[in-house]
Structure 1
């Protein structure tokens, strides 16, 4: 991908949840991990790395598209070398979210703890490469934040915990407050190019269809409306933050509409199945319930939009990343 003018992006640094996790949960005592088959079936050498897909995830595809490197290592990768820090890492943790309750439900790494790791990362950069190089990386890198799905799907709808305390309008305000604070903290630490993903059409994800889509397993309008409501507020909040952070480029990434377009027009994209994942029955299996002992797991995931009941296949991610980068990349410059 050609960047405008003589612009460079030295690194991509990633925060958030399972959509962009590359293995940070592997050593945690949590059900939210996937460092076992059939995950990674189509990854290099067929090795499960802790990526919640059959192959690469958006973090990997974005760095490749920008010509930086092939894969984004997880920050907790035991083989991480100082030079890996120069081109970016993922702090993301599957099951995490903006709401402080969300990471507690699955015992994963919260966004405040991801921020602590980021501060540690900045310290390592300074120690290894000096202040100037560190500042160059912080100001020129693209920093991506991918969260909110677990807040809406798990903390609000599936567990019902937040539903008992808030209506959806006040809950989306509640998590928006945390999202806004997180962006401000990143800015305070030197980040200047920040891309924030909106929520996907969660009501159409296979597990949400199973839980809330009735006998026909249709898309849940109630869950989709929650995603749309959060997205409208997030987009407006990011626009407002830009006014107060003159040196920053803060970009809202709409993933709701491109994903919904695939779901509504599968044949256009060469998909046959959009309401079930490849793994197991495809209706509820995810993480530890999607494992090598599932006899029903599909043999050819290229026909499937979803890998498990919650996460897309690498092929879906490629389509999404292509659309999103082409639309938004110039907004960072």
Structure 2
């Protein structure tokens, strides 16, 4: 059984991106910074430094500014960019390990949160650093790759029953959130996993797989309960569950209502992988719910992000 520390190490090294930007008020809510600990749904390029699981090649990024493949599993911007955009931060968010990151971008994030805090304290002073962390919006997303890759497509199913694995994931996640709290984070948004049964790789006879979606909701319900339990322990913090399952399920089940023509196939790769430099790509990604067999298009992400922010921003003090 993997230890909590190994799980957290995986998050930080394999799929974590930390970002900091000062932003203004949005719907009377002000955040001093944004930190994002993420998987492939939100990753803006940390995966570029991995030996596998990379996407920094065309046709990824085909509709991204500059038409470059940055490591986003999307045709264009992903939710990290779109949340930053919606909150008036900036149009796109660079990964911390981007090779040409400038020294002036020190305050935009570090790979490890403790290192970030130490360096931020050196730049801003201890009291200001504490205030920045406490007033930041901290995002975390981890269940998607853990369930979709490590369990369904990996060896975890040989170690755990699915409910037991979901419970273990929640334990690891809440432990990680506790560590963020101990380091000063007080405003945390935790993403659900997506509607796994609606992805092209998981659909059955052109419809969302009920079985896969029930599995995803098993995890989501346990995660939501775990977050509520943490909230009851920390009255000085605000922990908010970000439901991305419901809007994606709605879009994928009713694509025409949202202006899409195809929800069964990925624009690139269909029900398989989006291979490097493939020419088997749809001409207009905005007509597809999914970009590849696992990840939505930018247009889909925009609808999901709008839904989530409209429902959650007012939850933060």
- Residues 37, 48 of structure 1: 8 Å contact kept: yes
- Residues 191, 241 of structure 2: 8 Å contact kept: yes
- 1:291 is matched with which residue? 276
Give yes or no for the alignment of 1:134 onto 2:129: yes
Residue 162 of structure 1: how far off its partner (Å): 2.0
- Residues 208, 252 of structure 2: 8 Å contact kept: no
Structure 2 matches for 1:166-177, cutoff 5 A? 166-177=160-171
Counterpart CA distance in 1 for 2:131 and 2:90 is: 18
What do the CA deviations read for 1:53-101 (whole angstroms, capped 9, x no partner)? 1111101111111112222221212233354343x44x7xxxxxxxxxx
- Residues 187, 316 of structure 2: 8 Å contact kept: yes
Residue 2 of structure 1: how far off its partner (Å): 5.7
Counterpart CA distance in 2 for 1:299 and 1:38 is: 11
Structure 2 matches for 1:1-333, cutoff 5 A? 3-5=26-28, 7-30=29-52, 32-86=53-107, 88-89=108-109, 117-159=112-154, 161-209=155-203, 213=204, 216=205, 218-280=207-269, 282-286=270-274, 290-292=275-277, 294-333=278-317
- 2:5 is matched with which residue? none
Structure 2 gap ranges (5+):
1-23
Give the TM-score normalised by the residue count of structure 2: 0.88
- Residues 198, 253 of structure 2: 8 Å contact kept: no
- Residues 207, 310 of structure 1: 8 Å contact kept: yes
Residue 217 of structure 1: how far off its partner (Å): 5.2
Counterpart CA distance in 1 for 2:264 and 2:194 is: 15
| Cα RMSD for the two superposed structures | 1.7
- Residues 40, 145 of structure 2: 8 Å contact kept: no
- Residues 259, 287 of structure 2: 8 Å contact kept: yes
Cα 1:46–1:330 shift into 2, 3 Å? same
What do the CA deviations read for 1:176-205 (whole angstroms, capped 9, x no partner)? 110110110110111111000011110111
Residue 291 of structure 1: how far off its partner (Å): 2.1
What do the CA deviations read for 1:227-273 (whole angstroms, capped 9, x no partner)? 10111111111111011111111000111111111011111110011
- Residues 54, 314 of structure 1: 8 Å contact kept: yes
Counterpart CA distance in 2 for 1:124 and 1:84 is: 12
Counterpart CA distance in 2 for 1:126 and 1:236 is: 34
- Residues 139, 190 of structure 1: 8 Å contact kept: yes
- Residues 130, 184 of structure 2: 8 Å contact kept: yes
Residue 26 of structure 1: how far off its partner (Å): 1.3
Counterpart CA distance in 2 for 1:85 and 1:318 is: 28
Cα 1:171–1:28 shift into 2, 3 Å? closer
- 2:10 is matched with which residue? none
Structure 1 gap ranges (5+):
92-113
Q: Secondary structure at 1:26's aligned position in 2?
A: helix
- Residues 10, 68 of structure 1: 8 Å contact kept: no
Q: Secondary structure at 2:156's aligned position in 1?
A: coil
Q: Secondary structure at 2:235's aligned position in 1?
A: coil
Residue 146 of structure 1: how far off its partner (Å): 1.1
Residue 24 of structure 1: how far off its partner (Å): 1.1
Q: Secondary structure at 1:25's aligned position in 2?
A: helix
Q: Secondary structure at 2:157's aligned position in 1?
A: coil
- Residues 22, 73 of structure 1: 8 Å contact kept: yes
